Structure 1
Amino acid sequence: MESPRWWLLFPALMAVDHCLALVDQKDSDPIDTNPRDVPPRPALPCHKLSVSNIDFAFNLYRQLAWNAPGENILFSPASVSSALATLFLGAPAASRAQLLEGLGLNLSVVPEAEVQEAFQDLLLRLPLQGPRLLLTVGQRRFHSLGPGAGQDPGEGQKCIREYVEKQTQGKLGAWVEDLGNETAAVLVNHVLLRAGWETPFDLEATSPKEFFVDELRTVQVPMMRQKARHRFLHDPELQCTVLQMDHAGAGNVTTFFVFPSRGALGQLEDALLPETLIKWDSLLRTRELNFHFPKFSISSTSRLELLLPRGAVGGGLPGQPGLNVSRVTHKAVMTLGEEGSEAAAATSIQLTPSPHPDFDSTPPPDTEFRRPFLVMTFHTETGSMLFLGKIVNPLG
């Protein structure tokens, strides 16, 4: 039996103080090895967030999928949760626990001081830089934007746009931040990933093939081809195929592609849980694969305020009422090709002195992966999900 080389999620589900860590052992041919015999990396403060953050990511994904059936979905759970945690940890004590529970964090299990330490540790450990791997994260708060603040709203929008463009190297295109009339502050969080494949595709082997968007529609998509060894499994219970492809850079970033069988997408989406990842990790085996895979380039913009917990998050000036989350905008892009993938995301949270306003709600190995699929990119040291999406149409 192969030793799992992702992170040991199971102990973290059983006890918070256990580690969610990647095992430093490269795959080889399947052998009978007890995973317990392989020592994990030491536990890190950020590991106390891993299961909660993954659960939050899957819950948010299901809400987005429900509101936009048949559409591409892409977001950065790491960006959204980090931005919200920054605000929630500064909220009044009366609402702090409830707001953090909206992120899947139970303060009776992980004390608030440890939650704060864990997020700080996460933001310190996520950035990576190497010849073929770049990961940057960060956030900035823009103040004095409300009425009477003495700053032209247009100038505030320009500053935010320029910040997002610089931090994401223009990957998000023209970021437009329409500030509400009462907006007093904006918190912006960004993530940028540029990661080459550990085993690149053959540049000369790409050719157009049909991709089945749904039962009635196909599109011509450039399909890459590769013959290489990857971790792979077929899950008969959930009727899906899972392919793991590592990125260059000492095993710090890996991506999982999950291809449901025809008609099984809904069942798969319902089963997205940390425990499902544990099961897949125990079943994945390294195999020699000769397969075709679609190139894609997608972007997704989401309004999240109605999907997230509400409440005053503090931040007002002395003697003034606390601020409330009024608008949460998230935009993400991802491009995947022969040499690797590039992705970027930004989360913008507008804060107003007034309560949350009402908004309109928005409602056996298959070697040719030619139907809608899920993509999950992880930072393995911290157990963080950097990007989560559903590719319905690779052409965007």
Structure 2
Amino acid sequence: MEGHRLLLLLPVLVATAHCQAFTGPEDATRATADPQDSTPRPSLPFHKISRGNLEFAFNLYRQLALNSPNGNIFFSPASISSALVALSLEAPTDSRNKLLKILGFNLTTVPKAEIQEGFEDLQHRLHSQSPQLLLTTGQHRFSNLGHRSMKKLKNTQKHIKKHVHQKTNGMLGAWMQDLGNETTEVLLNHILFKATTSLRKSLRDPTRSVRIPTMMQNASHLFYVDYELQSIVLQMELTANTTSVFVFPVQGALHQLEKALSPERLIKWNRSFFTRLLPGGTWRREGSRSLEALLPLLKVRGGIPKQLLLNISKVTHKAVLELDEEGLEAAAVTNIQLSPLPHPASSPSASESTQVYQPFLVMTFHTETGSLLFLGKVVNPLY
């Protein structure tokens, strides 16, 4: 890093909590700023949903980890929450309140209008197209599907698959969740992310480095040892207001780390980073999940006027992340199917792997908004 550069992992939460800022100098010493010098930032619409979004992300992660303790996990909290909040705003009061509670919101403190305004503001700020950062998000609803012949069903699935391929630059491969026979609507939410790294080549100091698979070249990254959680935390700066965080617990400390994930823990890490030189290698991770079992039986309004209330019958999600010396690229799609019939009871997802390696967590943030774009756990690096 050049000089004593301050990186705010979560500026929204830091500003809200009036936290003091810490610098990250090359000699690994840390200096604190006078808390009296910290002035609260003006409240923007997305500020009001930031904490709820993070709480939802960590709660969903814990549920997935409980169902798949020995398997890799990777998903986009930003995509899932955006899709579900869109349905909640169209739902009857009871269903809306249940969905918003799952999403981390309390309508007594954050009214429906402010949640809607916050997500609209967030979606606007998440868009960027430049040589350093490509970040696009969006939703599309396929309505009035009705009862279809096998030929029409295949044509509809082909159309949806083409839409996903275009919006994610083909990163998700041939993935397409089959439509249920009773599905009358499909809501798709996509996110595409590509950021370059702001790295500089340097010789590795063997007395100050930690060997982890992150990049193909030696580089300076922000680094912290959380002794309470027995974990090493590495923050990799990406360009254009984005960053990735890797958390490496010691053997046996993963459950403690997962239980402690919270906005406050992120603030603590951000306050305490200093610089280290770290090596690594090329890396790719992906994950697919069925999420309807994590939701109560809820009815929402469809996209067609005067249509009867529909059930959320199926919720599927896939995310992919690729990391190399050039930067980080990721994409995700959330697929929500609506039908007159409720979703069938389903058992928890099976583990992707039974061979356990030393696991670690990875998170990718949009630092302007504090939005957690991607979150995952790597248990088996071979899958």
- The CA deviation at 1:320 is 4.2
In 1, Cα distance between equivalents of 2:358 and 2:86: 38
| 1:224 and 2:216 correspond | yes
In 2, Cα distance between equivalents of 1:253 and 1:283: 19
The change in CA–CA distance for 1:69 and 1:157 in structure 2 (over 3 A counts) is: same
Paired positions, count: 362
- The CA deviation at 1:11 is 5.8
1:152-171: CA deviation from partner (whole Å, max 9, x where unpaired): 11111011100000000000
Q: Which amino acid aligns with 2:362?
A: V
SS at match of 1:96: helix
SS at match of 1:5: coil
Aligned 1:367-386 pairs, distance under 5 A: 371-386=358-373
Aligned 1:337-352 pairs, distance under 5 A: 337-352=324-339
Is contact 2:286-2:318 (8 Å) kept? yes
In 1, Cα distance between equivalents of 2:227 and 2:148: 61
In 1, Cα distance between equivalents of 2:200 and 2:74: 23
| Structure 2 counterpart of 1:183 | 183
Is contact 1:298-1:395 (8 Å) kept? no
| Structure 1 counterpart of 2:13 | 9
| 1:49 and 2:52 correspond | no
Could you list the runs of 5+ residues in structure 2 that have no partner in the other structure?
Answer: 203-210, 351-356
- The CA deviation at 1:276 is 1.0
The one of 337, 357, 360 aligned to 2:347? 360
- The CA deviation at 1:321 is 2.3
Could you list the runs of 5+ residues in structure 1 that have no partner in the other structure?
Answer: 203-210, 213-220, 364-369
| 1:235 and 2:226 correspond | yes
| 1:108 and 2:108 correspond | yes
| Structure 1 counterpart of 2:253 | 264
| 1:330 and 2:317 correspond | yes
- The CA deviation at 1:173 is 0.2
Higher fraction of strand: 1
The change in CA–CA distance for 1:122 and 1:263 in structure 2 (over 3 A counts) is: same
The change in CA–CA distance for 1:393 and 1:35 in structure 2 (over 3 A counts) is: farther
Is contact 2:301-2:307 (8 Å) kept? no
What TM-score do the two structures reach when normalised by structure 2? 0.87
- The CA deviation at 1:128 is 1.1
- The CA deviation at 1:373 is 1.1
The change in CA–CA distance for 1:264 and 1:182 in structure 2 (over 3 A counts) is: same
The change in CA–CA distance for 1:293 and 1:312 in structure 2 (over 3 A counts) is: same
| Structure 2 counterpart of 1:302 | 289
- The CA deviation at 1:265 is 0.9
What TM-score do the two structures reach when normalised by structure 1? 0.84
In 2, Cα distance between equivalents of 1:224 and 1:388: 22
Q: Which amino acid aligns with 2:194?
A: R
In 1, Cα distance between equivalents of 2:295 and 2:307: 25
Q: Which amino acid aligns with 1:91?
A: A
Give the superposed CA RMSD: 2.8
In 1, Cα distance between equivalents of 2:7 and 2:293: 38
The one of 260, 264, 269 aligned to 1:280? 269
Q: Which amino acid aligns with 2:249?
A: P
